[in-house]
């Protein structure tokens, strides 16, 4: 065990270092006072250097996140679907039932089937996914459309997903514009 050593200047206990902490702090403060401009310039240069490197890194990380966001969302959805198969099955069954109940007797099944066939053919021909869109949504807060050939359109999947069940032609801008009866 090492013997206790007191500082010869201030009397404080010295550790493993050459100076005790109070003497080191005092010497450091004196140096900073004598070389104020040099210390300020060094600190400024350090901030510029580290800030620039940090800004580049943050910009790179942001770009990576932006580019990988669709994939990360898709992976998260797939993970959720694997863990919630009951909810997925229930949602699929509910949509199928709503289609059945929203199909009027006068709807032409041939034209409906043709719309789905056209979407598949366009996807194969262009390499861009196409979907059959219900122009007036089957389920929405303000309206429920029909699953009929007159209410179908074949559009790119991206447009269909962006539209969701929130937009349709001649859509009122507020509930007060909806005229019933």
DSSP-derived 3-state class of residue 45: helix
pLDDT tens-digit profile of 120-156?
A: 999 999 999 999 998 888 877 777 888 889 989 999 9
In a domain, 164, yes or no: yes
Question: By residue range, what is the domain housing residue 42?
Answer: 21-70
In a domain, 142, yes or no: yes
Query: 160 near 131, Cβ under 8 Å?
Result: yes
- Mark whether 113 and 64 lie in a shared domain: no
Total domains present in the chain: 2
- Mark whether 115 and 62 lie in a shared domain: no
- Mark whether 117 and 64 lie in a shared domain: no
pTM for the whole structure: 0.47
Query: For residue 51, what is the enclosing H or E element?
Result: helix 36-83
- Mark whether 121 and 62 lie in a shared domain: no
Strand partners, 155: 131
In a domain, 81, yes or no: no
pLDDT tens-digit profile of 50-99?
A: 887 888 888 999 999 999 999 999 999 999 999 998 888 888 888 787 77
């Amino acid at each position: 065990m090492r013997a206790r050593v007191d500082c010869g200047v201030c009397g404080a206990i010295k550790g493993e270092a050459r100076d005790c902490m109070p003497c080191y702090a005092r010497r450091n403060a004196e140096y900073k006072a004598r070389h104020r401009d040099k210390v300020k310039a060094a600190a400024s240069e350090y901030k510029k250097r580290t800030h620039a490197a940090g800004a580049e890194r943050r910009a790179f990380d942001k770009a990576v996140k932006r580019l990988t966001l669709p994939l990360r969302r898709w992976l998260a959805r797939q993970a959720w679907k694997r863990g919630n198969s009951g909810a997925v099955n229930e949602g699929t069954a509910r949509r199928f039932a709503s289609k059945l109940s929203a199909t009027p007797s006068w709807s032409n099944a041939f034209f409906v089937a043709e719309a789905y066939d056209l979407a598949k053919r366009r996807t194969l021909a262009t390499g861009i996914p196409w979907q059959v869109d219900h122009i007036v949504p089957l389920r929405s807060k303000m309206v429920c459309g029909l699953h009929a050939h007159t209410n179908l359109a074949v559009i790119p999947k991206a447009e269909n997903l962006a539209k969701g069940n929130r937009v349709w032609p001649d859509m009122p801008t507020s509930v007060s514009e909806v005229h019933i009866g």
